[in-house]
Amino acid sequence: MKKVETVKKSLRDYEALISAEKIEEIESLSRELKGARVLHINATAYGGGVAEILHTLVPLMNDAGLVADWAVIEAPGEFFELTKRMHNALQGKDDKMNKEDKELFLRVTRENAQRYSFGAYDYVIIHDPQPVGLPEFVDFGEARLVWRCHIDTSSPNMDFWSFLNNHLGYYDAGVFTLRDYAKDGISINNIVEIPPSIDPLSNKNRALRDDELKLAMKKLRVDVGRPIISQVSRFDPWKDPMGVVDVYRVLKEEFKGLQLLMIGAMASDDPEGWEIYDDLLRYAGTDYDIKVLSNFHGVAEIEVNAAQRISNVVLQKSIREGFALTMSEAMWKKTPVIGGNVGGIPLQVKHGVNGYLVNSIEETAEYTAKLLRDKELAREFGEKGHEIVKEHFLVTRHLVDYMRLFKSL
């Protein structure tokens, strides 16, 4: 186990972006929790949404007057292969946790526990399954223990779930993105819902300078004189990328100049991801108004930011979904959104207020057309979406939720 260094961040920088009430609430909670010692433990310092949020949350907790640390566990590659399988199995994938798997998991947990030497804390937040077994082997003293689960464990593979649930009895609270994601019979009594959040000052969400926007548009190869719809998400069948192409094809009849941007992050060690990517390109065929882009094309945070800004409508046509922060990202940029009526999407997208919830290709095409035709409606939805994110989905709200949770324990 080793500590992660973070870059200092200041709450003052967020003040212009949030409401006066939120600022007051943070200040009040800060006074009550001043000096409280907090330790976050997760599996990795870089890569993935959990590391991304901790790089912001941990510095902000410190700026709010708490003493927050962050540590990651250390393990050999085969442990992460196992926890990747565990991740999939907890979301329902068929698999079997054999004796060797269990031994490996416990061995790595014990080894990390033996190397624990960070002293005493008031609150220890353990993220996701990888470090879940630590409380059995580490003496955390008087600390209140929180398990922060970022995945949907409502219909898990029972083999993996039983193993996991055996470790949950140590925890004083279980935090889920949605309350429904906690499985019935979970060995934690106190289940708390804390949705994720976006950082409005990150490269993915901050305002862009003109030169940045210009360069990004070049990389995205879009013609801003013509309408643009986009979907930003992994190339994954549950995100229905082919369905999005079908929607585009229906719309292309009426909107001759329409462009579709499909942006996803790719990993070199993910053959399944490549298969979807390849299928998508083949399905798009030689229609170059469909742009399929990834990190391998030099598309990174600023380009995603720009894509969400310049799009007339941002889609997330998921059939199954965790939370889909891409909706909040687009909403923050005042872009109207259309999302599948699944997972965390209905929490963010209010049908007919800041976007539409859809269940089919036909509905998606119909509502997208409505927003492409009616600029005033699109503008209004965009404003509404921004307000919703400002109130509910910024990292400052996330910070407040954690501080409230600490107070309650």
| CB neighbours of residue 285 within 10 Å | 9
**Closest separation in Å from C-beta 272 to its own copies:** 10
Selected from 284, 357, 358, 371, the binder of its own copies by CB under 8 A is 284
From the list 9-17, 275-283, 363-371, 400-408, the region that binds its own copies by CB under 8 A is 275-283
Count of residues near its own copies by CB under 8 A:
16
From the list 147-155, 283-291, 328-336, 376-384, the region that binds its own copies by CB under 8 A is 283-291
**Nearest to 138, CA basis, from 184, 170, 166:** 170
Taking the least distance from each CB to its own copies, the nearer of 141 and 298 is: 298
C-alpha dihedral (175, 177, 179, 180), degrees to nearest 10: -130
What's the angle, vertex CA 62, arms to CA 20 and CA 409, rounded to 5? Answer: 85
Taking the least distance from each CB to its own copies, the nearer of 117 and 286 is: 286
Q: Is 84 in the site for its own copies (CB under 8 A)?
A: no
**Pair 168, 186: CB distance under 8 Å:** yes
**Residue 148 φ then ψ, to 5°:** -105, 110
From the list 94-102, 179-187, 285-293, 377-385, the region that binds its own copies by CB under 8 A is 285-293
Q: 290: which strand partners?
A: 260
Q: Where are the beta strands (DSSP E) in 19-172?
A: 37-42, 67-72, 123-127, 144-149
Selected from 78, 278, 374, 391, the binder of its own copies by CB under 8 A is 278
Q: Is 285 in the site for its own copies (CB under 8 A)?
A: yes
H/E stretch holding 355 reads strand 355-358
CA gap 339, 58 in Å, rounded: 31
Cβ contacts of 99 within 8 Å, gap of 6 or more: none
Selected from 120, 281, 353, 377, the binder of its own copies by CB under 8 A is 281
From the list 44-52, 60-68, 118-126, 267-275, the region that binds its own copies by CB under 8 A is 267-275
Q: Is 271 in the site for its own copies (CB under 8 A)?
A: yes
Q: Is 249 in the site for its own copies (CB under 8 A)?
A: no
Q: Is 274 in the site for its own copies (CB under 8 A)?
A: yes
H/E stretch holding 85 reads helix 77-90
**Nearest to 263, CA basis, from 202, 336, 330:** 330
Binding mask 297-336 for its own copies (x = CB under 8 A): xx--------------------------------------
From the list 21-29, 159-167, 269-277, 318-326, the region that binds its own copies by CB under 8 A is 269-277
| Amino acid (one-letter) located at 340 | G
- Cβ density class 349-388: b for 16+ within 10 Å, e for less: beeeebbbbbeebebbbbbbbebbeeeeebeebbebbbeb
Q: Is 185 in the site for its own copies (CB under 8 A)?
A: no
Taking the least distance from each CB to its own copies, the nearer of 214 and 221 is: 221
Q: Is 283 in the site for its own copies (CB under 8 A)?
A: yes
| Amino acid (one-letter) located at 83 | T
**Closest separation in Å from C-beta 270 to its own copies:** 9
CA gap 201, 395 in Å, rounded: 10
Q: Is 377 in the site for its own copies (CB under 8 A)?
A: no
Q: Is 118 in the site for its own copies (CB under 8 A)?
A: no
Selected from 296, 377, 391, 408, the binder of its own copies by CB under 8 A is 296
Cβ contacts of 269 within 8 Å, gap of 6 or more: none
**Closest separation in Å from C-beta 209 to its own copies:** 23
* Chain contacts with its own copies (rule: CB under 8 A): 268, 271, 274-275, 278, 281-286, 288, 292, 296-298
